[in-house]
Each structure stands twice: as C-alpha cells, then as structure tokens.
Structure 1
Amino acid sequence: MSDAFDRLGYGTYELRHGEECVSGVRRAIETGYRHIDTAQGYDNEASVSAAIDATDVDREELFVATKLSTDNLSYDDAVATARVSRDRLGVDSIDLLYVHWPIHTYDPAETLPALDALVDEGVADRIGLSNFRPDQLAEAVDRLDHDVFAHQVECHPLLGQEELRELAVERGHWLVAYSPIARNRVADVDVLREVAAKHDASPAQVSLAWLLSKERVAPIPKAASVGHIEENWAARDLDLDPEDVERIDAIDRRERVVDVEGASWNRA
C-alpha cells in the first residue's frame, strides 16, 4: 500500500495516444506529482505503467488510482476487470479503485460488495466513488464494509460543490476534483483574472490554489504539455489571501463542463 496520496494529482483523461500519455505522466512524475489518476475507460492504464517504468521513481512512492467502467459494475465483472487493471498498471495492488459513474449497470447490491471483496483480496487498497449524488454517496457509505477514501466529482470555482465538500469533511473522505480549471473557462472569469494578476499567476493556478485552500479537497488537473504540467504544479506555492478566497467563493456562475446522458444529477 502506498501512502503517497498528494492533494495535487495528475489526471490522464483523454491522454489516449500511447506516447502522449507516457510522455505526460513521465514528465508529471519528474516534476513532482506522486498521485496519478486514470480509468479503465481512458484506455491508457498500460501507458501509465510504461511512464512509471520510464522514471527513476520507485512505484512505492506513487499513488495510482483507476476507475471501473460503467460496463464493469456487476459483481463478477468488477472483480475480474479490476484484477486486469492491476496487472496493466503493473502494481501489486491498486492504491485507489473508484466506481466511475453510478449509471447503466451500477447496482449497489452488486457493485459495492465487489469493492469490499477487492480490498479483502488485496487487489485494491482503498475504495473510491465518482459522480455520485449526495444521497447515493450516503447509501454507498452505509452499505460498504470498508471506508470510502475519496469521492471524485467535477469541482472548480464555477461549480463549487459545497454540499459534497461539506460531506467530505463531515465523513472524513477526500473530495477529488476533476476538471479543476473547467477546461480553462476560468480564464474568462473577471475575478479569477484579477486575483491572478495580483499574484503574478494564471487563472488556472488561482483555481487550483482555491481548491487547495479548501479542507479535504484534492484537485487532479490534466495537462499534456510540459509548460502546463509545471504551471499546475507551481500552484501549490500560491498562497491566496483570505479576501481572494472570499471573492472566489462569491462567484455566482454555476457551470458544469462534464455532463453525460444518464448522469446521477440528471436523474435526481
């Protein structure tokens, strides 16, 4: 089990082309990232493994998370494909295994016992959920034998996820924020541009720093270019003033950039 979970992780969504993914993950690790996030549906678990092999960093120093695809949520499919993911990633056990979306084949009575079994078997060390509504999250927490380590959702200054952040603090799990710069829509927000100018930073860095200022929130930005990988990492050193945080908290735009048919919030 790796304890290298870092609040600023590296996301690999859409890094589907082998060399692009290998290059991005390798550069991220060399920059300092230790928390790497992938998914069965990204079709790049083997490339993530190849990138790790291409660095001088020991796998024990890394925290690697992946997610079960919506087609693999029956008990048998979850167990079988998680074992395959573990082998593709080249790890003894997956540090964090999520349910990617609670849609299509998701059945709490099937999927959640599979997660418990995978932890018992040692295929995964920790359980995660992703894109769950608050009520679904509460049901899953009550059903699972093992603790939920993280809940991964879209979160950024334009979609603050206040209720889910409060639940993370209350229940003691991490809220892992994907799309933490809203696919750079943050660059069009006056408040974020003004705060960025004040700190000689970019709006993307301000967005990440804002998330890092929140209790039990861990953003996982995706970046392919060396410049963006390093720029995102540098957000760890950006200390926002309390008034900066208050101004960002008060942004009244609410925009979701990731929305899929059948998503839990569309079925509430």
Structure 2
Amino acid sequence: MPGQQIDVPSFTLNTGAKLPSVGLGCWMGYPGGGDDCENMAKTAIKLGYRHIDTAAGYGNEEHVGKAIRESDVPRSEIFLVTKLNNKDHGRVAEAFQESLDRLGCEYVDLYLMHWPQAQNPDGKILQPDQSPTYVETWQAMEKLLDTGKVKAIGVSNFSIKTLEVLLPQAKVVPAVNQVQLHPCLPSFDLLAYCAQKGIHVTAYSPLGRKDSPFFSDDTIKSISDKHGITIAQVLLSWGVQRGTSVIPKSVQEERLRSNFTTARSADDWTLAPDFIQQES
C-alpha cells in the first residue's frame, strides 16, 4: 500500500526542485546498519517521508535503495540524496555510478560532496592544495549533470571560508550545503551567507548527538510543555522555521511518526522569540 499522502512543507532549491522540509537521515551512528536501516527507511516511507538522505560512506546505500524500490511509492515522489566519499574525490564519475548501482535507482535527486577534504585510497588526508582539490572535485561533479542521472549537486560540511574558495571557480552554484545545525550550533553567519548565495541549508544531527543535552534542557522542556509537543518536535520546528530542512533519524516507528508530524504542525504555533531569533 502506498505511503500516506501528507502535505509536507517544502523548500525550493535554486534548481526549482522542491525539497521536503523534514527528511530521514540514514546515518545509523556506525557504518552499515543493514536490515535495521532498510526497515527504518521502509517505515519512514510508509509514514509519508519523501526526503531520504544517505551516503557512500554510510555503507547502507544498497539497503536504502531496496527500501525505496519495495515501497510502492513512485520513485519520482521521493527526493533521494547521497554523497561522495572522501577517498573518491579523484574518481567522481566512477564513484557516482557505484552509488547509483548500489541504490538500484536510475538517478538521484541530489549528490553532495561529503567533505571539502580528499583522502588517498589508504585514507591519508590530502593537503588543501594537493590534487584533487575540492574545487577540482566540484568541477568533476558539475559534469555529472550532463548525464541526466543526477538532478542537482551540492556540498556538505562547507564553511564560509571553503565556499568563498569554491564559488568563484564554480559554473554551478551548489543547490544545498548540508551541515550540523542545532540550537547549540546555530551557525547564523553561515546560514545568512548561504541564503545570500541561493544555497539551501540542510541540518544534520538536528537533535544533537548521542546523549544530547537538549532532552534535559529546562528552556526547551518549558517550550515543549507549553505547546504539548515533544522536545524533538521543538528542535525540529526550530530548524524548519529558520528556513532549513532537517533530517533526523530514528529506528522507532513512534518517533519517526512524531518527528514527521513536525512538518505539519510547525505553522500551528510559534517558538519563543528568545529561542529562535537570530543574532544581530
């Protein structure tokens, strides 16, 4: 049975594509995840998720792709994101095709450079001026657009400094910059810079990392109690209301459902101004 049809708010990328505001992050906290990742993705799609994020480095593209193929939801309705591994900066076309083969899909909606840092096949980190530089890697990624197998390209973990090096030498402005964002890492300057350049920002780890202090924070708990929502919904709504898409992860169906309803409830209430307002 196809997944539920829910009117989830979306953000429009500089390509014109619509990116659902709440997606599923498929980093399991460790490489792989196998059946757990596959079942998580299948459950999320059943609940209505249409934005799925994985990466070559996560070691679970095969399972994410299987979940999508077996979901009975048309491929065109799912916004699929994957990422280039650091060791593959010098072989972009080959690495992309390998990701596509593992996913078992004809195309991906967004392909990201996972980090602005290349490694050699042995894992040694290259210096910024060593080839392939991240500018050279980006230029190779631009060529993928001509294949029709990727709809948009973007970056991940890029700072203002690295973007200022990249953009003057890029023919294509990244559609997305995916970075870690949450109330303890709001990155106001980076968010403003990306908005000025027409780059959408996706927040990973929007609930914090393992043993996140947010779930025992008095301010966040007071907002949660006031509005009768979960602490996770407070954090995710904070992200969505400031114009970023968010990609939380959970293997628990009830939490997947609760996280996803954030997208439907974000317009129903307003966070405390002192919690959401940006720094001047």
TM-score normalised over the length of structure 2: 0.83
Q: Which amino acid aligns with 1:46?
A: E
Q: Which aligned segments of 4 or more residues in structure 1 are displaced greater than 6 angstroms?
A: none
| Contact 1:157–1:251 (Cα < 8 Å) also in 2 | no
**Alignment counterpart, residue 145 of structure 2, candidates 110, 114, 119:** 119
For 1:186, the equivalent position in structure 2 comes to: 214
Q: Which amino acid aligns with 2:95?
A: T
For 1:99, the equivalent position in structure 2 comes to: 113
**Alignment counterpart, residue 161 of structure 1, candidates 187, 191, 194:** 187
For 1:260, the equivalent position in structure 2 comes to: none
Q: Secondary structure at the match of 1:147?
A: coil
For 2:8, the equivalent position in structure 1 comes to: none
| RMSD between superposed Cα atoms in Å | 2.1
Q: Alignment length, in residue pairs?
A: 248
Which residues of structure 2 form unaligned runs of 5+?
Answer: 1-14, 120-131
**Alignment counterpart, residue 48 of structure 1, candidates 64, 80, 95:** 64
What is the distance in 2 between the residues matched to 1:2 and 1:84? 27
Once the two structures are superposed, residues 126-146 of structure 1 have per-residue CA deviations (whole angstroms, 9 ceiling, x without a partner) of 111111110111222222212
Q: Secondary structure at the match of 2:106?
A: coil
What is the distance in 1 between the residues matched to 2:146 and 2:169? 15
Q: Which amino acid aligns with 2:240?
A: L
Q: Secondary structure at the match of 2:52?
A: strand
Q: Secondary structure at the match of 2:248?
A: coil
The Cα shift of 1:118 comes to: 1.0
What is the distance in 1 between the residues matched to 2:165 and 2:151? 21
Q: Which amino acid aligns with 1:196?
A: S
Once the two structures are superposed, residues 40-83 of structure 1 have per-residue CA deviations (whole angstroms, 9 ceiling, x without a partner) of 00010010111112211011111100011111111xx1110101
For 2:78, the equivalent position in structure 1 comes to: 62
| Contact 1:40–1:66 (Cα < 8 Å) also in 2 | yes
1:30 and 2:43 correspond:
no
Once the two structures are superposed, residues 230-268 of structure 1 have per-residue CA deviations (whole angstroms, 9 ceiling, x without a partner) of 1100112144755x342323799xxxxxxxxxxxxxxxx
Which residues of structure 1 form unaligned runs of 5+?
Answer: 253-268
What is the distance in 2 between the residues matched to 1:204 and 1:251? 20
What is the distance in 1 between the residues matched to 2:115 and 2:70? 31
For 1:81, the equivalent position in structure 2 comes to: 95
**Alignment counterpart, residue 71 of structure 1, candidates 74, 81, 87:** 87
TM-score normalised over the length of structure 1: 0.86
The Cα shift of 1:6 comes to: 0.5
The Cα shift of 1:163 comes to: 1.0
Higher helix share goes to which structure?
1
For 1:205, the equivalent position in structure 2 comes to: 233
Q: Which of 169-178 and 34-43 deviates more?
A: 169-178
What is the distance in 1 between the residues matched to 2:114 and 2:257? 27
What is the distance in 2 between the residues matched to 1:185 and 1:62? 32
| Contact 2:84–2:92 (Cα < 8 Å) also in 1 | yes
